[in-house]
Amino acid sequence: MVCYNHNFSDADAATLCELARIANNPQHRPYVCLWVTNGVVCNLHFQASEFPDHLRIAHGVVGQDKTPLVCCWFSCSTEMKKESVMRHVNEKHLELRHICPTCHEQFTRAHTMQNHVSRKHSGN
């Protein structure tokens, strides 16, 4: 049996393809994980909705309990209960940031980051 949606136009299909392309392109994911493990910044790009799973799977932050935990986010080190981590990260760290790809310094504006890169890492 063939199920065909006559309301689904070529334009809709193009829009969906474009959305899928953006979603699958790491460069378009708005957030960067700066969780530090063994001195290494994670640096993975993700969508906000993916983050709880990412934190659980990649960094072992599991469960909603009262276990004390230190936030390993780059330059954070805030102590909190495990149940508070997701909210803490959302509020404190998941703002749109521009990260220097060389030294991982954070900037709130793209052009500040680009200035930094040309001043510090231009190689001359």
Binding region for Zn ion (CB under 5 A): 33, 35, 42, 44, 58, 71, 73, 76, 78, 100, 102-103, 105
Helix%, strand%, coil% for the chain, nearest 5: 45, 15, 40
Closer by beta carbon to Zn ion, 78 or else 84? 78
Cβ 31 to Zn ion, closest distance in Å?
10
Minimum Å distance from CB 110 to Zn ion?
14
Q: What is the DSSP string of 77-122?
A: --EEEGGGHHHHIIIII-S--EE-TTT--EESSHHHHHHHHHHHSS
Residue (25 or 37) nearer to Zn ion, CB: 37
Cβ proximity to Zn ion, 17 vs 110, nearer residue: 110
